[in-house]
């Protein structure tokens, strides 16, 4: 019997150009609300499109969003 382990990592450590599922958003209530208003919440699919100095441009649905590295660290994802 084989077991499949889903690795959960902060968004900046995830691979580019791969569909990722948001599993958690950490931080203060304001942070969670801000990311939620951008469409980033648990069970959302995201994709890192570009990365520069830890800052990311991600695809969320049909949108592209720029996120600072400090905020991106609060988004926990797993490959889908």
What domains does the chain contain, in order, with CATH numbers? 9-79 (2.30.30.90)
The CA R_g of the chain, rounded to the nearest whole Å, is 12
pLDDT band for 5, please (50, 70, 90 cuts). Answer: low
Look at residue 60 in the predicted model and tell me its pLDDT. 97
CA distances from 78 to 6, 9, 22, 59, 75 (A): 6, 6, 7, 15, 10
pTM of the entire structure?
0.90
- Is a pLDDT exceeding 50 seen at residue 50? yes
For 51-78, what is the mean pLDDT? 95
């Amino acid at each position: 019997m084989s077991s499949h382990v889903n690795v959960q990592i902060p968004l900046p450590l995830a691979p580019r150009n791969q569909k990722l599922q948001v599993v958690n958003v950490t931080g203060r209530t304001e942070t969670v609300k801000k990311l939620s208003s951008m469409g980033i919440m648990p069970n959302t699919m995201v994709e890192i499109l570009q990365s520069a100095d830890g800052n990311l441009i991600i695809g969320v649905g049909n949108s592209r969003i720029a996120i600072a590295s400090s905020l991106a660290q609060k988004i926990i994802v797993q490959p889908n």
